[in-house]
Structure 1
């Protein structure tokens, strides 16, 4: 009987297990899905924002695979120095498939990055997603403004969590500690900053538009920064998804500032060069202007 180990229980790992047990050429194959964490589903459980319940419901499909009579989930097993070495898996299984993602954060490499109050997206997302490795840190307590470095979907999620009213998050599976901190949050301004222009931004239009639908929150875009992008004036040659993003940004840039209680500022062509210190923690971020590629 063929035995296969799949390391990682996120979507790629679970769908790998599904593909194996559905192979006609592998009758009777048995698959063990191994994970360092005690619960399966990877980023679907611990990375998708709690207010994106439709995406999180993908767990139901993944659960069906793990309930197959020839698939077994084994949590709490870390392959490597703190657990069985890869060589041991090859002794126990006929084949091993690794379906794991990046295990460490990427750092900016700028002075002041390690100051209290400076966090990676992994740390912040883990906190509001109840990841077992999450730090017990209030994150937003005593903070009136926040800077999010990046213009992809993760950055949009972080900005949205910082600006969204806690009443809308209470029905979700966000942990109580995070809900309590967000309920006390005094964050009124969120700056989402990218080193490149709007035509290179990696957020999707659906997620981008969500920022404009947050209650008591306005999105502010500087038209002069949009105009720095050579593709902004004539979007005809851009992919359809990028054109849609630019039209959303253009609409916000042309709209007057309303003075709502919370504000999200989208900034472009700015690169962080230092995190400034004030009273022993983050007091600001210094940027320099970049040029279009």
Structure 2
């Protein structure tokens, strides 16, 4: 019998375990899925925004995999720590697969990022998602009138949306009560998304982008002059050459640029 350890119980780890037990070239594989956290599913549990219940429901599919009798989940196991070294892990298993993802912040290396009020998306998302590492975090937004999300991906969109949503919309979700209370007391009136490149390079998906324009009491504002800096905005041929998702994103932003901000 071949014994394999999969380190990390997010989607990649769970599906790696599923692939190992379902392959037929080496029969009789048994897999232990290890995670330093007590509960599995990684970012599906702790990274998906609380108001996106449909995506969070993917935990059901992951749970089905872990219920396979050939797979065992072991939580509260920190690989590389004093109790279980990587060398010891290789002594216990025939093979080890690492599916741990990127757990640390990626700093920008710019002046001022160490100042008070500057936070990483990793910390903020972990806080409003109830990640065990963020139990001691406390974001006081009561004296904040404006916020900036730096980035042009779905995480930046999530952060922007969480800051813009009102408390009654978030109350039915599984957001932790401390985070819910802090957002209810928030004084944020405007949120800006700032990105290094133009909208035709944005990594957000169209569905998530459009959602910003549907939030109750929220106006999505785009400066036409800034949008015009992107060659694809003014050049139909350049826009036509973009992948479909970028073309759709550009059209959403074009529509917002044509709106009256006060309308």
Flag whether TM exceeds 0.5 (same fold).
yes
Name the structure 1 match of 2:65: 65
1: CA distance, partners of 2:2 / 2:107? 42
Query: What root-mean-square deviation, in Å, do the aligned CA atoms of Structure 1 and Structure 2 show?
Result: 1.1
2: CA distance, partners of 1:34 / 1:14? 10
**Shift of residue 138 of structure 1?**
2.5
**Shift of residue 76 of structure 1?**
0.9
Name the structure 1 match of 2:33: 33
Name the structure 2 match of 1:226: 227
- 2:31 counterpart SS class: strand
Long gaps (5+) in structure 2: none
Structure 1 or 2: larger strand share? 1
2:244 to 219, 236, 240: 240
Aligned residues: 259
Name the structure 2 match of 1:47: 47
Name the structure 1 match of 2:156: 155
1:252 aligns with 2:253: no
2: CA distance, partners of 1:26 / 1:171? 47
1: CA distance, partners of 2:201 / 2:140? 29
- 1:124 counterpart SS class: helix
**Shift of residue 67 of structure 1?**
1.0
1: CA distance, partners of 2:75 / 2:142? 34
Long gaps (5+) in structure 1: 260-293
Judge conservation of contact 1:124–1:139 (CA < 8 Å) in 2.
Answer: no
Q: Give TM-score scaled by structure 2 length.
A: 0.96
- 2:216 counterpart SS class: coil
CA-to-partner distance for each residue in 1:215-241, whole Å, 9 max, x for gaps? 000010000111111111121111111
2: CA distance, partners of 1:69 / 1:81? 28
1:131 aligns with 2:135: no
Structure 1 or 2: larger helix share? 2
1: CA distance, partners of 2:189 / 2:2? 57
**Shift of residue 25 of structure 1?**
2.5
Matches within 5 A, 1:88-167: 88-134=88-134, 135-167=136-168
CA-to-partner distance for each residue in 1:78-125, whole Å, 9 max, x for gaps? 111444111111110011101111121011212221122110000000
2: CA distance, partners of 1:254 / 1:112? 34
CA-to-partner distance for each residue in 1:139-180, whole Å, 9 max, x for gaps? 423211101111110000000000011111111110000010
1: CA distance, partners of 2:82 / 2:53? 34
1:170 aligns with 2:171: yes
2: CA distance, partners of 1:83 / 1:255? 59
Q: Give TM-score scaled by structure 1 length.
A: 0.86
Judge conservation of contact 1:117–1:139 (CA < 8 Å) in 2.
Answer: no
